[in-house]
Amino acid sequence: MRRKRLVLLGATGSIGSSTLKVVRAHPERFEVVGLAAGRNAAALKRLAAEFGVRRLALAEPNAAGIPSGEAALCDLARSEAADLVVMAIAGMAGYAPTLAAIDAGHDVALATKEVLVMAGTEVMRRRAERGVRILPLDSEHSAVFQCLQNLAAQPACVRLEPDAPKAEDRIAEIILTASGGPFFRRPEIDWKRVTVAEALNHPRWSMGPKVTVDSATMMNKGLELIEALHLFAVPPERLRVWVHPQSIVHSFVSFRDGALLAQMAFPDMVLPIQYALTWPDRALSGPIEPMTLVGMQGLEFLEPDLQRFPCLRLAFDAIRAGTWAHPVLTLANEVAVRAFLRGRITADRIAAVIEDGLAAGPAAFDEIVARAESAVAAYAH
């Protein structure tokens, strides 16, 4: 069997590290032919030496002679040597490289949810035109994807024939689970007093700072709802969120015949990444602890409190408003979270920046960002 050739964008982050863990566990199945990172040239060169990779790129300029910038990332994403492009660049920086990979005819294993939130309709249109697949890497979307595997119908994100049976026709509801982050157990949370260190202290997952803050505010789950709209072609009213602090059940799919399927595993990104890399196969082994009956004890499932987590409420508002509101939500949130991490605004102002952006209405991407930056400046302390 010929090894699957991977281009990995975001190689030094948490998703990239987990992806390379899968590659190390299955050297007979995978070959890395391209690597990209943000700004850490030394770490990227170490990985290139380990995996024998010659094609590299960095998002930021560097003194190491590595090609940099959006054009370099896009060139790597459209590499003719790739069978699958793993997109693990955080935030809106992953948008152009994802489109480059799709336009080059490559399947994409997608962890960058902002790509679909900002422009899901366009991304999925191009996916269908080019006859490529979007394989979800988020644990929740991977869980839904795994529950939908069936010989009789295909999920929208991998369906290539327009007249093929549709998996979404069988779905009653998709229920994404949320850990609740570090603040779910704190009923009197005062967002104005939340520190960056507290927001980054996630009880279950090890992630990058932006995603970890999004998990703390539960905006991460709101963005995942929009991502699910596009990946699985379901209407908004069929999407729900349940808070599940143990992070054992990664999502549920309720089917129209009355069945409720769940995908369960200990919280480790290696499993959903490995499933995307091996799909439509399932690997015979994996570098994670297997789920046991003991691990399923004491599981909790609760409705989210939209008053305590206003960012999630704003995400539901944006979903109801329509697709124009989706890029406003994600871009305003990205600007606000960056400002919070840098100490410019307090955590309660993240929701305020997003709310101001939604109230201002639709705009081009650059204008949305400019509005959010102005709001941050107004709220800066």
Which tokens belong to 104?
A: 């080059």
**Alpha carbons 108 and 134: distance in angstroms, whole number:** 5
Give the 3-state secondary structure of residue 374. Answer: helix
**Alpha carbons 45 and 6: distance in angstroms, whole number:** 17
Unique residue bearing structure tokens 């990209």: 36
Per-residue pLDDT 10s for the chain (381 aa) are: 789 999 999 999 989 999 999 999 999 999 999 999 999 999 999 999 999 999 999 999 999 999 999 999 999 999 999 999 999 998 778 999 999 999 999 999 999 888 999 889 999 999 999 999 999 999 999 999 999 999 999 999 999 998 999 999 999 999 999 998 888 888 888 999 999 999 998 877 677 888 899 999 999 999 999 999 999 999 999 999 999 999 999 999 999 999 999 999 998 999 999 999 999 999 998 878 888 888 788 999 999 999 999 999 999 999 999 999 999 999 999 999 999 999 999 999 999 999 999 999 999 999 999 999 999 999 997
CATH of domain 4-137+269-278: 3.40.50.720
pLDDT of amino acid 92: 78
Q: Count helices and strands (H / E) in the chain.
A: 14, 10
**Alpha carbons 283 and 25: distance in angstroms, whole number:** 11
| pLDDT per residue as tens digits for the range 68-91 | 999 999 999 999 999 999 999 987
pLDDT of amino acid 5: 98
Give the burial string for 317-328 (b: 16+ CB within 10 Å, else e).
bbbeeebebbbb
CA distances from 334 to 257, 272, 309 (A): 40, 25, 17
- Give me the phi and psi of 378, to 5 degrees please: -70, -35
pLDDT of amino acid 229: 96
Q: Please state the domain extents for the chain.
A: 4-137+269-278, 324-381
pTM, entire model: 0.93
